[in-house]
Amino acid sequence: MTTHTVLFRPYDKLVKVKDGESLIRSAMESGVHINASCGGEGVCGKCRIIIESGEVEGGISEKLEKEDIKKGIRLACLAKVKEDIVVRITTESTVDASVLNLLAVSRNTARIQKINFEAMKEKGLFIPPVEKRYIEMPSPTAHDNLSDITRLVSYLKLNYNESKLEVDLSVIRKIPDVLRENDFKITVTLIRPVHEGNKTKIVNVQPGNTVGSNYAIAIDVGTTTVYGQIIDLITGEVLAQHGDFNGQISYGEDVISRIVFAEKGGLDKLSEVVLTTINKIIKKIIKRASISSEDISTVTIAGNTTMTQLMLRINPRYIRLAPYVPASTLYPPFKTSEIGLDIEEHVRALIYPEVSSYVGGDIVAGVMGSGMYLSDEFTLFMDIGTNAEIVIGNKDWLACSACSAGPAFEGGGLKFGMRAAKGAVEDFSVDPFTLEPMIMTIGNVRPKGICGSGLIAIVATMFEMGIIDSSGKYDRNLDTLRIIKKDGVYEYVIAWANETQIEKDLSLSEIDIENLIRAKGAMYSGCITLLEEVGLSVTDLDLIIISGGFGSYVDLEKAMTIGLLPEVDPKKVQFIGNGSLMGARMSSLTNRLRKDVVEVTKMMTNFELSETASYMDNYIAAIFLPHTDISQFPKLKQRMASRKKLVMGRRSI
């Protein structure tokens, strides 16, 4: 079988692929991420790359200008590898926030990028949390028969000026044989204290020199999905990653139903199943990265407060009962065995601290990983999902809040809602006159349902077209077979039964739209209320960071059209993907974050929206498209005005 070599820049990732393989698949398999939302059929045009050396077969479509093609730009999904090539992944324009960019790996969590340790060092951001040292010690004699541990500790004190060393039982158990396996030449793993003055822990000894192999694991425990990554602590590279559904899903879709299940005696079960999910992921990424589990030195885990308590087998009952008190917001480092992780027993697990019952470790990780806590800029951080959280602030202050948006953004609670998986309608347009739809599904297959981003696209498009009014109702006067009344509810048929995989009409009802409006209303009014509480307005914001899997797929303009996001210059918006995972990863790379995080959680003032008088008013005002006060969306207002003619025109047909 002929194979070719592809070098992906700027990550300097070299992979072998078989002849004729599509470039996007090569990238995906080797862990290099390229944005591409149409499933590789060349229709979205997002997967632009530059061929710097060599040539590919195909890769050209109408999505590319002639100028682009001349520059070597191709669509990765249409390009086939027929020889050795060098490919550059184009980097998106990002806001000017140098500190942020040092910490935040990229706009997309899956993006693998080298960490600039030197730059981090210069800014005091790089303080390695774990170090390996190779040492060659003298063998014992009758006149120098110190214990093995004393020999090691004395050697480190004398030669490396180490002091305050502490030793794990696992090291005491290993050291006699490890020392004698390779003539007292060993590699020792040192975990540095987060706070100066505390002890350095000797957590591992290995025969010979393994200094070059030092890895961390980062885990994001989401209510729905769990993600894991292996990070090379020397290069900062992500070597492998994997995500899977949280095994707890069978016991309840959201945190409240899980808490209720735990209260009914299911706590041990919920802990067990999420640990099973995590351990499976760990096993998979270790295998994918082709590393020895011996060389893993640290693991960082971030999750919301409920996920964290369930994983650690801590009764979550009081999270859901007023006044919503979590068991703890800070956790000491744990031995992996103590909390049930299948990782070598020398590894310490760091659990991301929390702010409150509904602003958890996942959000704190996002704040840390995105670097917003180090920035001068007024930043709005949003994690959009069932449990939506908002953080506003900068390096001087931080305010946060949680608002329960409901499951609409994840395709939940809709008549034909589904997760963002194959067959989900994810983009939509409509002929302004015939009102016939054009849909895009994930995987370019026949539609099965509507996912969160699809829902927003549909509602935004139809609202701009005047098919839906600002209260979310279909125009009853339109001449189309697509809008029908079924069981007393108006709905728009997106695909007829014979066009779908489900063999019935796939439609979006006014109830579905109402659900979305409530969800986006909760998010938006949360943002506005929190801004008001801290005396700011939308125009004061320098940056909006969108975190969460949902954020990676949503169309920014459409999100503003429906009033999910305040209307700002799109350049001010940054998508960071899985912020929780990013924070977990960054914390495994530097003690600076581990140290700062305690202060950051203290700094994050929690506002209980239900306790904030203006929230309900803001919410009532926000449950319209885009809002009762259209002046908050000036560009949309402008567009709406110019579309008005169209609608009038359609009416007159």
Q: Which is nearer to a copy of itself, 142 or 641 (CB)?
A: 142
Q: Which is nearer to a copy of itself, 61 or 328 (CB)?
A: 328
Closest contact distance (angstroms) between CB of 316 and a copy of itself is 8
Q: Which is nearer to a copy of itself, 353 or 449 (CB)?
A: 353
Classify strands 424-430 and 437-441 as parallel, antiparallel or unpaired: antiparallel
Task: Say if residues 452 and 629 touch (Cβ distance below 8 Å).
Answer: no
User: Tokens representing 156?
Assistant: 């480190």
Nearest to 527 by CA among 538, 543, 512: 538
- When binding is defined by CB under 8 A, the residue of 276, 328, 394, 480 that contacts a copy of itself is 328
| Residues with Cβ within 8 Å of residue 32, at least 6 apart in sequence | 8, 11, 13, 15, 89, 112
* Percent composition of the chain: helix, strand, coil (DSSP 3-state, to 5): 35, 25, 40
Single-letter amino acid, residue 598: V
| Residues with Cβ within 8 Å of residue 619, at least 6 apart in sequence | 521, 522, 525
Can residue 331 be called a binding residue for a copy of itself (CB under 8 A)? yes
Torsion sign across C-alpha atoms 339, 343, 346, 352? negative
Can residue 28 be called a binding residue for a copy of itself (CB under 8 A)? no
Can residue 150 be called a binding residue for a copy of itself (CB under 8 A)? yes
Say whether the peptide bond before residue 316 is cis (omega within 30 degrees of 0): no
- Residue 269 burial class via C-beta count within 10 angstroms: exposed 0-12, middle 13-18, buried 19 and up: middle
- When binding is defined by CB under 8 A, the residue of 58, 140, 207, 252 that contacts a copy of itself is 140
Beta bridge partner(s), residue 351: 301
- When binding is defined by CB under 8 A, the residue of 43, 60, 260, 327 that contacts a copy of itself is 327
- When binding is defined by CB under 8 A, the residue of 53, 122, 159, 325 that contacts a copy of itself is 325
Stretch of 286-294, 327-335, 552-560, 568-576 lying at the interface with a copy of itself (CB under 8 A): 327-335
Task: Say if residues 542 and 377 touch (Cβ distance below 8 Å).
Answer: yes
Can residue 631 be called a binding residue for a copy of itself (CB under 8 A)? no
- When binding is defined by CB under 8 A, the residue of 20, 176, 212, 649 that contacts a copy of itself is 176
Q: Exposed e or buried b for every residue in 78-111, given b needs 16+ CB within 10 A? A: bbbbbeebebbbeeeeebebebbbbbbbbbbbbb
Can residue 326 be called a binding residue for a copy of itself (CB under 8 A)? yes
Torsion sign across C-alpha atoms 362, 548, 542, 637? negative
Q: Which is nearer to a copy of itself, 26 or 308 (CB)?
A: 308
Can residue 137 be called a binding residue for a copy of itself (CB under 8 A)? no
Closest contact distance (angstroms) between CB of 387 and a copy of itself is 17
Stretch of 168-176, 361-369, 459-467, 569-577 lying at the interface with a copy of itself (CB under 8 A): 168-176
Left (φ > 0), alpha (ψ -120 to 50) or beta: where does 244 sit? beta
Stretch of 71-79, 208-216, 245-253, 315-323 lying at the interface with a copy of itself (CB under 8 A): 315-323
Residue that has been written with the tokens 């009033």 in this structure: 563
- When binding is defined by CB under 8 A, the residue of 57, 131, 162, 166 that contacts a copy of itself is 166
Q: Which is nearer to a copy of itself, 66 or 143 (CB)?
A: 143
Stretch 337-376 residues interacting with a copy of itself (CB under 8 A): 338-339, 354, 356-357
Q: Which is nearer to a copy of itself, 317 or 643 (CB)?
A: 317
Stretch 590-629 residues interacting with a copy of itself (CB under 8 A): 608, 611
User: Tokens representing 101?
Assistant: 């960019």
Can residue 146 be called a binding residue for a copy of itself (CB under 8 A)? yes
Can residue 104 be called a binding residue for a copy of itself (CB under 8 A)? no
Measured between alpha carbons, how far is 653 from 642 in angstroms, rounded to an integer? Answer: 18
Torsion sign across C-alpha atoms 365, 107, 216, 274? positive
Closest contact distance (angstroms) between CB of 142 and a copy of itself is 5
Measured between alpha carbons, how far is 554 from 454 in angstroms, rounded to an integer? Answer: 8
Nearest to 558 by CA among 496, 626, 510, 605: 626
Stretch of 146-154, 258-266, 374-382, 520-528 lying at the interface with a copy of itself (CB under 8 A): 146-154
Structure letter (DSSP) for residue 7: E
Q: Which is nearer to a copy of itself, 339 or 455 (CB)?
A: 339
Stretch 414-473 residues interacting with a copy of itself (CB under 8 A): none
Q: Which is nearer to a copy of itself, 322 or 641 (CB)?
A: 322
Can residue 329 be called a binding residue for a copy of itself (CB under 8 A)? yes
Q: Which is nearer to a copy of itself, 14 or 330 (CB)?
A: 330
Residue that has been written with the tokens 């540095």 in this structure: 192
- When binding is defined by CB under 8 A, the residue of 46, 133, 283, 317 that contacts a copy of itself is 317
Stretch of 6-14, 17-25, 89-97, 332-340 lying at the interface with a copy of itself (CB under 8 A): 332-340
Binding site for a copy of itself (CB under 8 A): 140-150, 166-169, 172-173, 175-177, 180, 197, 312-315, 317-318, 322-332, 334-335, 338-339, 354, 356-357, 608, 611
